[in-house]
Amino acid sequence: MTAALTNLLDFDPEQLVAYCADLGEKPFRAKQLQRWIHQFGAHSFDQMTDLAKSLREKLATRAEIRAPAIISDHTSADGTRKWLVDVGDGNAVETVFIPEEGRGTLCISTQAGCAVNCRFCSTGKQGFNRNLTVSEIIGQLWMAEFELRKTKGIEPGPKGERQITNVVMMGMGEPLLNFEPTTTALKLMLDDNAYGLSRRRVTLSTSGVVPMMDKLAQEVPVALAVSLHASNDPLRDGLVPLNKKYPLRELLAACKRYLEFAPRDFITFEYCMLDGVNDSDQHARELIALVNDPEVGVNCKFNLIPFNPFPESGLLRSKNPRIKAFAQVLMDAGIVTTVRKTRGDDIDAACGQLAGEVKDRTRVQERMGKMAEYQQKYGANFGRIVEIPS
């Protein structure tokens, strides 16, 4: 029986040094290998011309460089590019590149599906199957960088113009529920012998897994975005089920602790604008009180996200004048507030639209079917969020 090949995309810098040591090689060989893989996009050891022939032959029988295979590749009218990549066992995830003047941002997935099941996110409605490996996470960056270069005719290597300047872990999945592979991938993104990205240019988005936020602060603190989406606990319980475990004050306290280690002096709060649900002036005033609270208040900015509707959610996008009025209340209180421009929605690449193809071991689809049954039986408002005035 042939031994399985070791995928070198699974190793962070320290792990690659250890692997080379096991082969009887010195640490500088690991740096050479890493540069060939992550800066030149090499997928064959024969390409690594400054490695000794004996080492190349050794690697060819024991190791490989294998990123997830591309299933489909679509480019939006606005230049946004979305790849569907195969992560095996019948699962596929989506990776999105967003070009802007002076920078290119890649949105990376960390899980096949998502178990958090936020009400406004179509990814969660696909259910959850499994965590991605390091090679499946960093492999999205590896694949995208060199696909983009190939399209533009830009040579690989540090002399070629880098296409991806920013990475956001905002694709499919909750990164902090796949902690070790996610942080290993982050270390590669930041390493000068790999992608050399600044910690300020790598953002991890979480729905609020408090213990893992503290752990991330100690291990590899990058810029942090928190999916807030509600101004009080009863409302957030219905929109982001994780809130029942880590309620708002606990989450805000964790954000405050994180800032001691973060590369930026603020936390970004993502806020999906839902018509008649979380978009009133009163909700905005509650947010102001929350982030200015003497105990748990935190320096922050708000990123308001126009909701991308999908049938199962039963939700609608806030009207533009309402979004502007909501933003104005926050800005009048001195809080930096932006409204995210919707990009790539013609190829379903906009925020909250990434769904992929997931074997649903959490049976979300089945449960959604039951909900539709109950709504038919008991009326359209069955299971809907209802706010009860205090």
Supply the residues annotated as catalytic. Answer: 94, 351
3-class DSSP assignment, residue 190: helix
* Tokens coding 168: 């956001």
Binding residues: 114, 118, 121, 173-174, 205, 227-229, 308
Listed in order, strand segments (DSSP E) in the chain are 6-7, 63-64, 69-75, 81-86, 92-100, 103-107, 111-113, 128-131, 166-169, 202-206, 223-227, 267-273, 300-306, 336-339
Binding residues for S-adenosyl-L-methionine: 173-174, 205, 227-229, 308
Q: Are 106 and 169 in contact (CB under 8 A)?
A: no
b/e map 350-376, b = 16+ CB within 10 Å: bbbbbbbbbebebebeeeeeeeeeeee
Cα separation of 206 and 383, whole Å? 25
3-class DSSP assignment, residue 215: helix
Binding residues for [4Fe-4S] cluster: 114, 118, 121
